[in-house]
């Protein structure tokens, strides 16, 4: 999985979809990856996070 | 060439979308429309097209050459000094934006949530004291977001009503005269100038004090930032609370589903945002270069584009049973908050307010119902944000 902090608009949608995987920097809300290789049990949440990201800043590779 | 369609469109009933949305999505995805100002823009209604244009960082929201939206002299909110003075694009815009987004993280929203809940409870107390029937919009939906914004800006509770009036006037397209809009904007700027000075002298734990401490923003940008947060965050959320509750009560099985299963709350809020039939005009973009849409349509440089997120959110190519309100729909990548570098900066706050509003109403007023038939609801006219004039309820 890849995140693009330059594109991130700090909407926080990824944190709401998968808070075990994504967090936000305190100073500006930009996405931080907590777990770059989440297991199968989180796959659906991660796909949701990528789908709802308003900046298309999350890329999921199978 | 056909005459441009008169925009915005009106749905056949208060909670139903305009017939033009589906028609244009299937037959005319780039449609010439005549804005309230009389100027012409090209309207996009397909999900893929709207998302493509909104996500493209090259296109500003307005420029000297773009079509004006409103019929007042200045052309409304999107053509004001505020819109022109703020960092609009690229690096400068992102730097400004990231000073603000610090205040809208999920962590901060969770910390703010109990305060919003207390405000919502206080407003319900007021409704109970007055007795049924009540106008949910005036008694609850309209005050809640302005109280929250005043709290974030460090504005005292006693000035909340003035803020509500200013935001109402500044967002007007046709309801107020140019003189009234100018007067409201001038009063607001005067107030905010004093407020910024006061915060500089005595900082508090609020967004404005924090921006002042950052040191990089001029007073004008500080004032316009406050103005922007108010006009962007008040009327929009206030109306959405009213529309969401009206949608849920118009078919009361939805309200009952929520009473039975509180875990539907978050997805219900997203679905209400998606199926909103009165979301307002949409978002304007000015094409600074030629653009080819993904489905092959060519738009020349100099075109003013109007992106209808409301129409896009009902695109059958993206959503199964797009016209149906499904409280369990997940994922729900709707475009109600826009997309890309200009997507709504306060969307996490809006979501939190909508969730708290719904949660508190379900808890305090489980017997809530509409006091009129859905067809008797009246739409707001003359504002850039769509909504219902009143939401009469009993409980």
| pLDDT tens track for B301-342 | 999 999 999 999 999 999 999 999 999 999 999 999 999 999
Residue at B250 is within a domain = yes
Q: Nearest-CA distance from A28 to chain B in Å?
A: 4
Interface test with A, best of B331, B332, B338, B339 (most A CBs within 10 A): B331
Share of chain B above pLDDT 90, in %: 72
Residues B13-25: what's their mean pLDDT?
A: 97
Q: Which residues of B touch A27 (CB under 8 A)?
A: 102
Q: Which of B97, B331, B345 sits opposite A52 (nearest CB)?
A: B331
Q: How many domains does chain B have?
A: 1
Model pLDDT for residues B336-384, shown as the tens digit of each residue: 999 999 999 999 999 999 999 999 999 999 999 999 999 999 998 766 6
Residue B75 lies in a domain: yes
Structural domain boundaries, residue A19: 2-59
Whether residue B79 is predicted with pLDDT greater than 60 in this model: the reply is: no
Across the interface, whether the CB atoms of A12 and B331 are under 8 A apart is answered no
CB contact under 8 A, B105 and A10: yes
Total number of domains in chain A: 1
Q: How far is B102 from chain A (nearest CA, A)?
A: 4
B383 is a domain residue: no
B155-197: pLDDT as tens digits: 999 999 898 888 878 776 667 788 888 888 889 989 999 999 9
Q: Mutating which of A54, A56, A58 best tests the B interface, going by the most B Cβ atoms within 10 A?
A: A54
pLDDT digits 0-9 by tens, B205-216: 999 999 999 888
Of B101, B266, B351, the CB nearest to A29: B101
Task: Supply the CATH number for residue A32's domain.
Answer: 3.30.70.20
Residue A17 to chain B, least CA–CA distance (Å):
9
Name which residue leads in pLDDT, B387 or B74. B387
Average pLDDT for B54-63: 86
Q: What is the mean pLDDT of residues B226-239?
A: 87
Chain B neighbors of A17, CB-CB under 8 A: 331
- State the pLDDT at residue B190: 93
Taking CB atoms and an 8 Å cutoff, what residues of chain A touch B352?
none
Min Cα distance A55 → chain B (Å) is 5
Q: Is residue B322 situated within a structural domain?
A: yes
Residues of chain A below pLDDT 50: none
Across the interface, do A54 and B339 touch by the CB < 8 Å criterion? yes
pLDDT value, residue A40: 93
Confidence at residue B78, expressed as pLDDT on a 0 to 100 scale = 46
CB nearest A28 (choices: B101, B340, B348): B101
User: Which H, E and C letters describe chain B, residue by residue?
Assistant: CCCCEECCCCCCCCCCCCHHHHHHHHHCCEEEEECCCCCEEEEECCHHHHHHHHHCCCCCCCCCCCCCCCCCCCCCHHHCHHHHHCCCCHHHHHHHHHHHHHHHCHHHHHHHHHHHHHHHHHHHHHHHHHCCCEEHHHHHHCHHHHHHHHHHHCCCHHHHHHHHHHHHHHCECCCCCHHHHHHHHHHHHHHHHHHHHHHHHCCCCCHHHHHHHHCCCCHHHHHHHHHHHHHHHCHHHHHHHHHHHHHHHHCHHHHHHHHHCHHHHHHHHHHHHHHCCCCCCCEEEECCCCEECCCCCEECCCCEEEECHHHHCCCCCCCCCCCCCCCCCCCCCCCCCCCHHHCCCCHHHHHHHHHHHHHHHHHHCCCCEECCCHHHCCECCCECCCCECCCEEEC
Residues of B in contact with A56 (CB under 8 A): 55, 339-340
Tell me if A10 and B101 make a contact (CB, 8 A cut-off): yes
| B299 occurs within a structural domain | yes
Q: For B180-190, what is each residue's pLDDT tens digit?
A: 888 888 899 89
* CATH number of the domain to which B28 belongs: 1.10.630.10
pLDDT at B74 over 50: no
Q: What is the pLDDT of residue B33?
A: 97
Residue B242 lies in a domain: yes
The string of pLDDT tens digits covering residues B142-155 is: 999 999 999 999 99
Nearest Cα residue in chain A from B102: A28
């Amino acid at each position: 999985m890849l995140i693009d902090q330059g594109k991130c608009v700090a909407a926080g949608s990824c944190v709401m979809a998968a808070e075990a995987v994504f967090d936000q920097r305190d100073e500006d809300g930009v996405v931080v990856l907590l777990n770059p290789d989440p297991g199968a049990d989180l796959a659906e949440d991660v796909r949701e996070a990528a789908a709802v990201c308003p900046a298309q800043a999350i890329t999921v590779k199978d | 060439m056909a005459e441009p369609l008169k925009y915005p469109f009106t749905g056949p009933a208060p909670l139903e979308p305009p017939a033009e949305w589906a028609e244009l999505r299937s037959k005319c995805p780039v449609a010439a429309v005549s804005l309230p100002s009389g100027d012409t823009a090209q309207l996009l209604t397909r999900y893929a097209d709207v998302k493509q244009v909104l996500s493209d960082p090259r296109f500003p929201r307005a420029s000297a050459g773009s079509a004006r939206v409103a019929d007042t002299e200045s052309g409304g909110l999107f053509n004001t000094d505020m819109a022109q003075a703020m960092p609009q694009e690229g690096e400068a815009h992102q730097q400004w934006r990231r000073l603000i987004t610090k205040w809208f993280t999920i962590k901060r929203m969770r910390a703010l949530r109990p305060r919003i809940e207390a405000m919502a409870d206080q407003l319900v107390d007021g409704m109970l004291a007055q007795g049924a029937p009540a106008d949910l919009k005036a008694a609850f939906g309209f005050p809640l977001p302005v109280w929250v914004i005043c709290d974030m800006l460090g504005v005292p509770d006693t000035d909340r009503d003035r803020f509500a009036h200013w935001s109402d006037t500044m967002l007007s397209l046709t309801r107020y005269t140019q003189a009234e809009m100018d007067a409201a904007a001038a009063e607001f700027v005067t107030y905010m100038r004093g407020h910024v000075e006061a915060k500089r002298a005595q900082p508090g734990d609020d967004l404005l004090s924090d921006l002042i401490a950052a040191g990089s923003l001029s007073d004008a940008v500080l004032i316009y930032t406050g103005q922007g947060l108010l006009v962007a965050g008040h009327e929009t959320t206030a109306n959405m609370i009213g529309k969401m509750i009206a949608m849920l009560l118009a078919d009361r099985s939805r309200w009952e589903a929520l009473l039975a299963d509180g875990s539907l709350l978050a997805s219900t809020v997203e679905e209400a945002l998606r199926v909103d039939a009165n979301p307002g005009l949409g978002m304007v973009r000015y094409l600074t270069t030629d653009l080819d849409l993904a489905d092959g349509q060519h738009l020349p440089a100099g075109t003013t584009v109007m992106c209808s997120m409301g129409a896009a959110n009902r695109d059958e190519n993206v959503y199964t049973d797009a016209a149906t309100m499904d409280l369990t729909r997940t994922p729900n990548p709707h475009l109600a908050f826009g997309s890309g570098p200009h997507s709504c900066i306060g969307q996490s706050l809006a979501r939190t307010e909508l969730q708290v509003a719904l949660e508190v109403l379900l808890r305090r007023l489980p017997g809530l119902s509409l006091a009129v038939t859905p067809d008797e609801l009246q739409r707001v006219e003359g504002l850039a944000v769509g909504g219902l004039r009143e939401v009469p309820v009993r409980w």
